[in-house]
Amino acid sequence: MKPALVLDVSSCMPWCCEDEKTPASEEMLEWAGQGSKLHVPSLWVWEILNVVSVTVKRQRITADHAKEFLAQLGTFNFQIEPPPTVKDLSHLHVLAEQHKLTAYDAAYLELAKRLALPLATINSDLRKAAVAEGIELLG
């Protein structure tokens, strides 16, 4: 089994959309299938549901394919972190502002930093921030 990692939604969608597949995304899918721990912030659940819904609405995938994809995700070893507390907002805001990230992307960055785990993302702004923070990148 490969090591644990923090996984953002951008790295999951190639598993669902054939036209987005890359060797890196296939490697992440293999890791997931082997039972690697996939750490995600609590917002990931809503984010993945939204992206899948939009992908169906845009007719990039069928509703049946979306159901199959979501069922597949349910077989992986996701570790969903609890949401931050109100006391954490200031720290998260500073992290987002420092790297010019959305609050959503800052959640992934903070999680990877706090857990000292590699971050799997194809988001260029998040990748730049991870490098600046000394976080190992995958994908």
The rounded average pLDDT for each run of 10 residues, N- to C-terminus, in the chain (139 residues) is 87 91 88 93 96 96 96 96 94 96 96 96 95 93
pLDDT score of 6: 97
Helix (H) or strand (E) holding 97: helix 89-99
pLDDT score of 47: 96
pLDDT score of 70: 97
Q: In angstroms, rounded to a whole number, what is the distance separating the alpha carbons of residues 126 and 45?
A: 19
Query: In CATH terms, is domain 5-138 a member of 1.10.10.10?
Result: no
Q: Which pTM does this prediction carry? A: 0.92
β-strands 38-40, 5-7 pairing: parallel
